[in-house]
Structure 1
């Protein structure tokens, strides 16, 4: 609707028409009418600036203010209030400083109402110091003054100062209102200060503020952050109205505190009660399932998200990829990658980094590299992930190349960077390079070595056969050596047949990890190889006495859409007879090609023929055989094992890969092994 202005209208009448236009939301007409006033008074300027701010034209509001300033007319409090609100929305510190300067110049800076607005303005502009300067200049501080200052601190990552300000307010005799409470409780949440939170809760109950949704929501969040889930649920259940955010907050708290069943129950209750779900609700439950080891359920929830009409976003993609990683579900990961590409989610660095890790951990290093290369602005986590990917696949030279490229681009390495780089050096026996990088940590990059870095260096030296140097290094570590350090030394002693050092390492490990079966097995194998039968028997007896059970070996392989799991001697698979027939058939070809079974570490007290039959039934051999039988034109088989691959299986799979003419990738508990043309990427050292 366009308001027509009578000719020769007085400024007073024009002002009325401006007011009518603004009431109708027609800012443009109001501005046109305003321009017809020969000398608009301060009331007209204030009205128009306020209207522009109210309707979202904050930049235009400030432009009007600058035109007003050029007229050199005295300001008043209402005008400054209106323009302070515009600056708060603009979040422009330079403009905020202009307004503050005018407030000082015209003597309004100590006015409580205007000063409160200025504190909020500087807070929104990110300048805590200026907000405090204005706050300290207020002669008569009211509840809004204190709340604005406390909220400013909390909102800018200074929760302790926010809580102190709140306490000062109470000490000064100012009674907090609902805004004060809902602004301060997040400080208790961030500080995990449940005692202060409970005191504020007591005040809320005494003053009958439990009905305020903002206050109770802040209470639920505070108790959830402090892991006081019983109290959080009590407050939550007492509320007559709950918004979606609140449901998500409590649900997330249950998942974070490893109470997955209650988190899921709350999600189902949310659905059953008709609460409004949003994509954040689905993301919360997907993340919760992944964090609590329910990876298959996380994948199911992702499908349900889409079936319910929600479109997964970059958070969904980043949340579900770890489930594919944990399950080694390469096909599912590829489908998610395809979805991300089709829906423009590939710009999110965290999601793309999760893709890099998923491909690497599922044994597809080539696709991991491709994804990494497409990421534009890589953060330190992205670089660390790509370095770790090459490290776990035994590509030490590539690890160093990526690390040096990262440094050349000016990316600052952190403690994780050095851990994955040193690990990569250990798998490729790059001793000199590892020494150089370890020595540069503090000297060049100001990163103090931690337990994992010392353990990595022990591993580097041990794998390279520098056992005496590794032992000296352990004794010189300025902090208590970890089980990883002694374990690396023991593993190398088995390979290099160094019984004395192996005995020292084993005894240390029996002290640190008395119930870790891997340590006993490693030392037992070392003794058996040295033909120290009596001492080996003692280790077996010690395991029985301490009730230490050897972890059963388990291998799995994906064929088409299903994952098939095998244990040693497994006959549960319906193709079991065919698997064993295939192994017998290929076994003959392997023998003709020079394969000799390695029975050194077979624990059973049986004859040689039975030992060889036992080796033939190891879980990794069964999984590889089944994978080969299921090939339909593919050139790669990926097998995963929960323990270290045994010496005989490692040797056998080299022959199998050459005879069948495919690449066989096996991921054991230590690293990936790429078997091609009769050799392995680990160079027979793992």
Structure 2
């Protein structure tokens, strides 16, 4: 128990005791002394509130100020200044507005120091209008005033306005200092504005600010963000002092730019020079390895991170898992899952949501569902992730059920929720359900945007209601996007509506003239309709515009190694066996009833040559290679960068049944699960 003050202590002694405890940081004793003062004056209130603010007890500081005003005690500018700092850190916009009103009421708003604090407060509360209003009302503005305004714009995601304010500062005759420069440089990074970055760099050199570690680090980031890594390294090498932030910026830049070897060399240099590595360092190198296809190296780095005494945390996990989205990183994702389980991180919402996403993207929907069902708490992001996971696997009914369960659980849907649900309805022929969901969005305070309209076009188009989809596009309240016209064009291919395809394609050629897929698809539609001249004209238009077709590529992982194939590929050491296998499999498939669909061959050649061309498609080569190297596995996973063609889709169904193996193919649109002669998409994709 703390001892009470003696009774009848003179007020000046009480104030002295209060000041001693506030300065020493013993706020418990300070509060006891304060509470025993019968009528604390403004000095006592200011001492305690300022001490709470300095120690980070911000809510307590604001509550004390509220109590002071409830007693009708008038504050002074120093007290409001202290409370403004508390509001700034808390980011409390309502209290910030109230405090500004108080400053005006008592006539303190013209004080420069308080005005600067108010601009900073509104900026950190993300109230740009409030910050600008205070700034414009200030009769005198110093370097701090302008720095706070620039910081406000950058902090509130308005980098271009921040640069405008920075230039206005110079025109007003106020010279920026190192703090101003380090504050505004991130705006150049965000905008990737190399010219502005260079101008500010010149100012830095001219005024001798290059020795400031924060300024130099920010310059390194500007050049790195603008992919001018050579200049980033030049600034870095000239730094007399380097903090870990500047090292990390350069490290991330190398990995982001695909310069994996240089990134690893820099990381080794950091360790050799005794740089005090932090978690941003380890995360950068781990994710850099994964993003550059170096899964094994990423796992080694994860192990070394732990050996160095760094325990991967939620940030590490959520940085690592999104990169584990492909065949080659599935094993890494499973290892991270084991780590999360061993270290009791399963209650962490961000980590488990990342796991749900990782498994869904890698084709392991059942594992994704298990993790989701184990989550004790689910927010909007978690529900959205599971809905989208089911949609990309063609489980529209499950996506719809999840959406309904989400509503019943009281979690509010957002724009992403409806994109996921509508995509699921599109891939599962749930037309009436999709229409109902679309028109219910406003009931849940979500305004449909262009993506949602495009999704409904896709719902109608895939179900064969192409004329209705076209009418819907014409009634859209905004300009139709490439997504809407692309959905219509794709449906015209399936449902052989040539005239509507020409309309959709002409709009797509205007919106995205460099997208080769639109030209190829229209040409394919003309070929199917035996309109050879128009198909030739489309291919000529493509050549004249310098648009080249994206080559199809498929890949499969075997024993921790990834094998890639392109159409007609003979670079694999097993190519002879692959083509011989496909030839023999083709005979078995024909006996089982398979008929090659030569509509998917664009060339006007004879039927036998068309069948031969179909055998060369990259997905068939990858599947054949995987079957030849099954090694006791019951499931094959193949990824493709483009949409799987109809003939390959049909052929893989037969191959899965004949061989007795489960085949999972992820193309650019969705997953296909082939099992015993059927596909999870129901031949509808």
Q: What TM-score comes out, normalization by structure 1 length?
A: 0.82
Shift of 1:422: 1.1
Find the aligned partners of 1:163 and 1:152 in 2 and give their Cα distance: 11
**Does residue 589 in structure 1 map to residue 577 in structure 2?**
no
Find the aligned partners of 2:508 and 2:185 in 1 and give their Cα distance: 45
Farther off after superposition, 409-418 or 223-232: 223-232
Find the aligned partners of 1:373 and 1:612 in 2 and give their Cα distance: 46
Residue 130 to residue 275, structure 1, CA distance change in 2 (3 Å)? farther
Shift of 1:203: 7.7
Counterpart of 1:162 (choices 128, 131, 136) is: 131
Partner of 1:217: 182
The answer to whether the 8 Å contact 2:384/2:420 transfers is yes
Partner of 1:84: 49
Residue 554 to residue 434, structure 1, CA distance change in 2 (3 Å)? same
Partner of 1:314: 314
Shift of 1:407: 1.3
- 1:352-367 residue pairs with structure 2 within 5 A? 352-367=352-367
Aligned-pair Cα RMSD in Å:
3.4
- SS of the residue 2:636 aligns to: strand
Partner of 1:576: 575
The answer to whether the 8 Å contact 2:349/2:378 transfers is yes
Shift of 1:395: 0.5
Find the aligned partners of 1:235 and 1:665 in 2 and give their Cα distance: 57
Find the aligned partners of 1:553 and 1:124 in 2 and give their Cα distance: 52
Aligned residue-pair number: 634
Find the aligned partners of 1:362 and 1:235 in 2 and give their Cα distance: 49
Find the aligned partners of 1:546 and 1:129 in 2 and give their Cα distance: 56
Find the aligned partners of 2:250 and 2:422 in 1 and give their Cα distance: 43
- 1:484-503 residue pairs with structure 2 within 5 A? 484-503=483-502
- SS of the residue 1:157 aligns to: coil
The answer to whether the 8 Å contact 1:150/1:166 transfers is yes
Find the aligned partners of 1:50 and 1:634 in 2 and give their Cα distance: 75
- SS of the residue 1:329 aligns to: helix
Residue 614 to residue 206, structure 1, CA distance change in 2 (3 Å)? closer
Shift of 1:161: 2.5
**Does residue 61 in structure 1 map to residue 27 in structure 2?**
no
- SS of the residue 1:531 aligns to: coil
Find the aligned partners of 1:543 and 1:117 in 2 and give their Cα distance: 66
The answer to whether the 8 Å contact 1:154/1:162 transfers is yes
Shift of 1:405: 0.9
Which structure 1 residue ranges, 5 or more long, are not aligned? 1-27
Residue 465 to residue 133, structure 1, CA distance change in 2 (3 Å)? closer
Find the aligned partners of 1:518 and 1:353 in 2 and give their Cα distance: 33
Partner of 2:119: 150
**Does residue 642 in structure 1 map to residue 641 in structure 2?**
yes
Shift of 1:284: 5.9
Residue 651 to residue 297, structure 1, CA distance change in 2 (3 Å)? closer
Partner of 1:131: 99
Shift of 1:259: 5.6
Shift of 1:682: 1.2
Shift of 1:411: 2.2
Partner of 1:267: 250
Find the aligned partners of 2:482 and 2:87 in 1 and give their Cα distance: 53
- 1:229-378 residue pairs with structure 2 within 5 A? 229-231=197-199, 233=201, 239=209, 267=250, 276-283=276-283, 294-296=291-293, 304=301, 307=304, 309=308, 310-325=310-325, 329-378=329-378
Farther off after superposition, 369-378 or 140-149: 140-149
Farther off after superposition, 451-460 or 477-486: 477-486
- SS of the residue 2:554 aligns to: strand
Find the aligned partners of 2:605 and 2:481 in 1 and give their Cα distance: 37
Find the aligned partners of 1:508 and 1:612 in 2 and give their Cα distance: 33
The answer to whether the 8 Å contact 2:188/2:222 transfers is no
Farther off after superposition, 159-168 or 616-625: 159-168
- 1:268-667 residue pairs with structure 2 within 5 A? 276-283=276-283, 294-296=291-293, 304=301, 307=304, 309=308, 310-325=310-325, 329-442=329-442, 444-667=443-666
Which has the larger Rg?
Answer: 1
Residues 630-664 of structure 1: CA deviation (Å, up to 9, x unaligned): 32332221111111111221111111111222210
- SS of the residue 1:490 aligns to: helix
Partner of 2:82: 117
Partner of 1:176: 142
The answer to whether the 8 Å contact 2:142/2:174 transfers is no
- SS of the residue 1:389 aligns to: helix
Find the aligned partners of 1:538 and 1:218 in 2 and give their Cα distance: 55
Partner of 1:189: 154
The answer to whether the 8 Å contact 1:219/1:232 transfers is no
Residue 298 to residue 242, structure 1, CA distance change in 2 (3 Å)? farther
The answer to whether the 8 Å contact 1:189/1:225 transfers is no
The answer to whether the 8 Å contact 1:84/1:121 transfers is no
Residue 506 to residue 79, structure 1, CA distance change in 2 (3 Å)? closer
Residue 206 to residue 678, structure 1, CA distance change in 2 (3 Å)? closer
Partner of 2:678: 679
Residues 159-180 of structure 1: CA deviation (Å, up to 9, x unaligned): 34324434433x2x4x6365x5
- SS of the residue 1:638 aligns to: strand
Residue 494 to residue 348, structure 1, CA distance change in 2 (3 Å)? same
Find the aligned partners of 2:31 and 2:47 in 1 and give their Cα distance: 10
Find the aligned partners of 2:504 and 2:175 in 1 and give their Cα distance: 63
Shift of 1:385: 1.8
Which structure 2 residue ranges, 5 or more long, are not aligned? 237-248, 252-265
Residue 233 to residue 277, structure 1, CA distance change in 2 (3 Å)? farther
Find the aligned partners of 1:631 and 1:504 in 2 and give their Cα distance: 47
Farther off after superposition, 255-264 or 430-439: 255-264
The answer to whether the 8 Å contact 1:620/1:639 transfers is yes
Residue 420 to residue 515, structure 1, CA distance change in 2 (3 Å)? same
The answer to whether the 8 Å contact 2:118/2:134 transfers is yes
The answer to whether the 8 Å contact 2:285/2:301 transfers is no
- SS of the residue 1:325 aligns to: coil
Residues 553-577 of structure 1: CA deviation (Å, up to 9, x unaligned): 1101111211111001111111222
Find the aligned partners of 2:684 and 2:18 in 1 and give their Cα distance: 75
Residue 485 to residue 66, structure 1, CA distance change in 2 (3 Å)? same
Partner of 1:97: 66
The answer to whether the 8 Å contact 1:248/1:280 transfers is no
Residues 377-418 of structure 1: CA deviation (Å, up to 9, x unaligned): 323222222111111111010011011111112222222222
The answer to whether the 8 Å contact 1:499/1:526 transfers is yes
The answer to whether the 8 Å contact 1:96/1:121 transfers is no
Residue 56 to residue 685, structure 1, CA distance change in 2 (3 Å)? same
Residue 39 to residue 182, structure 1, CA distance change in 2 (3 Å)? farther
Residue 177 to residue 259, structure 1, CA distance change in 2 (3 Å)? closer
Find the aligned partners of 1:429 and 1:395 in 2 and give their Cα distance: 11
